Amino acid sequence: MHRIKDTWPPLAVIAALIVTWWVAVITTRSMIFPTPWGVVSGVLELLKDGTLWRHIGASLMRVGTGFGLAVCVAVPLGLWMGWVRRAYETLNPVFQILRPISPIAWIPIAILWFGVGDASPIYLIFISSVFPMIVQTTAGVHTIEKRFLRAAENFGVSRRTRFKQVVIPAVLPQVLVGMRIGLGVAWLVVVAAEMIALRSGLGYMIMDSRNAGNRYDLVIAGMIIIGLIGLFLDGLMRMLERAKWVRWRYAH
Amino acid sequence: MRTKIEVRSLTKSFESDKGRLPVVEEVSFSVRDGEFVAIVGPSGCGKTTLMNMMAGFVRPDAGAVIIDGTPRSKPDSKGILISQQGSVFPWLTVRENLMFGLNGHAQANSSIADEYAEMVGLKGFEESYPYELSGGMLKRAELARALVVKPEILYMDEPFSALDALMSLRMRNELLRILAKERHTVMLITHDVEEAIHLADRILVLSPRPTRIQATFDVTFPHPRRLSSREAQELRVAILRELGVDHEGLAPI
């Protein structure tokens, strides 16, 4: 009952948008801009010949690889920078300079270094999602409440125990926040990166549809699918926030 | 009885925007083994700083804390600090919290932990997370986690002041019950004069900042203590007078 109550307002907004779109296309008699039904039939067409799945699979594979690599680098590095003051003082300025550089600006260099294969977008995803995760993890260590570190000190436990039972669990919620941001950025970037080169992926699909015969129905279909997958990925990360080992942070 | 803790002219000041701020000045006293000493003082007088120095978390500018004849320089599990905000790890279950400070085999630790959980009245909550517990239960968990490592000294800094009056009274009785079983030396900081009279063998009254010991009261009447008794009331008035609260206008409980 509650669910229906909560979900109907956004659904109503979406329905209103679709109706407005439909009416606008019909009244302006646009030859290029498709109607919602045109988009749906375009999607069905792509589903039938299987290209849609191929593009989605390619994009997800690139995001998965780039983001996965970024997690492997950012979490240990963030923990180290949070824990060791000198490491923070040395590396933080460098990262603060690299962080605001838009991943789009990296595209020429990515192509120069990695060519136009899969490695370029993976590199772009890596470079754009690694910094927010480093920053969040480091901040997570810095904001561990002193009373918990004191308690650990008081009981005289080994460094290993302190790290495993105090530092890691205390930082984990912040790491998850960083991962959620990182994955969002990664998804944003993969599409942009695919627009430049390559022969697959949702970004490629959008550019290719436009270039090969003004198939704006497929352009819009691509955009909507990107949005829906983004929503789904964020939902996945949010499910992690409900996992047993971070529930303490969100329970009240 | 032999001396457990000797505090020797402990002095501490902090740097602030307005220059040096002396907080603790030449505080000296000693605590016998198994004694329960309460420290009362006006708020902001430096009680917590004094306690943190005794527990080894803050280094004094001058003076020393000598425990069993050896100067202390850093915290260890011989003396456990229980602070007002508490420090039960929210990400560990009650049992995992109690096992935190224990060395040895997991199996043995687990049964020791459960034994102490039962002692403080948390039987059946070993698997619970702190956010599932009430404030009073959280304090019990904190107390059990401290006791389980068999500390010789408990440093308690306003341990019950975040609880409501009824729960605070209950926890005091619990504490006395446990202390009767396991003899610890206890240092208690409180702003609640009644709590001090209820629990302590001796009460030190601190002056405003920079703090020093202004008066000492022995609490000689036996447990269980009745706070409404005449001698308890007289003691209360005397302590409050030391704290600058006049006898006039003090209603008996």
**Which residues 6+ apart lie within 8 Å of A247 measured at CB?**
B129
* Helix A119-142, helix A168-196: angle, nearest 10: 150
B106 at A interface, C-beta within 8 A: no
pLDDT, position B16: 83
* Residue ranges of chain B that CATH labels 3.40.50.300: 3-78+151-242
CATH architecture of A33-250: Orthogonal Bundle (1.10)
**Low-confidence residues in chain A, pLDDT < 70:** 1-4, 197, 252
pLDDT, position B248: 58
Q: What is the pLDDT of residues A78-103, one digit of tens each?
A: 999 998 899 999 999 999 999 899 88
Per DSSP bridges, beta strands B202-206 and B185-190 are unpaired
CATH architecture of B3-78+151-242: 3-Layer(aba) Sandwich (3.40)
Residue among A125, A140, A156, A127 nearest A80 (CA): A140
CB count in 10 Å sphere of residue B184: 21
The answer to whether the Cβ–Cβ distance between B80 and A154 falls below 8 Å is: yes
B118 at A interface, C-beta within 8 A: no
pLDDT, position A209: 86
Stretch B54-67: mean pLDDT, rounded? 92
pLDDT, position B253: 47
Report whether pLDDT(B212) > 80.
yes
pLDDT, position B247: 59
pTM, 2 dp: 0.81
**Can you give the residue ranges of every domain in chain A?**
1-30, 33-250
Among candidates B85, B92, B101 on the partner chain, residue whose Cβ is nearest the Cβ of A155: B101
Q: Is the peptide bond before A76 cis (omega within 30 degrees of 0)?
A: no
B77 at A interface, C-beta within 8 A: yes
CB-based contact B109:B130 (threshold 8 Å): no
The answer to whether the Cβ–Cβ distance between B129 and A155 falls below 8 Å is: no
Q: How far apart are CA A63 and CA A187, in angstroms?
A: 6
The answer to whether the Cβ–Cβ distance between A156 and B57 falls below 8 Å is: no
**Which residues 6+ apart lie within 8 Å of B244 measured at CB?**
B42
B229 at A interface, C-beta within 8 A: no
The answer to whether the Cβ–Cβ distance between A156 and B83 falls below 8 Å is: no
Report whether pLDDT(B238) > 80.
yes
More confident residue, A77 or B224: A77
Give the closest-approach CA distance of A147 to chain B in angstroms: 6
DSSP lists the bridge partners of residue B189 as B39, B157
Q: What is the pLDDT of residues A192-220, one digit of tens each?
A: 888 776 788 999 899 888 888 788 888 99
**Which residues 6+ apart lie within 8 Å of B210 measured at CB?**
B13, B22, B23, B24, B25, B46
Q: What is the pLDDT of residues B103-115, one digit of tens each?
A: 778 888 888 888 8
A151 at B interface, C-beta within 8 A: yes
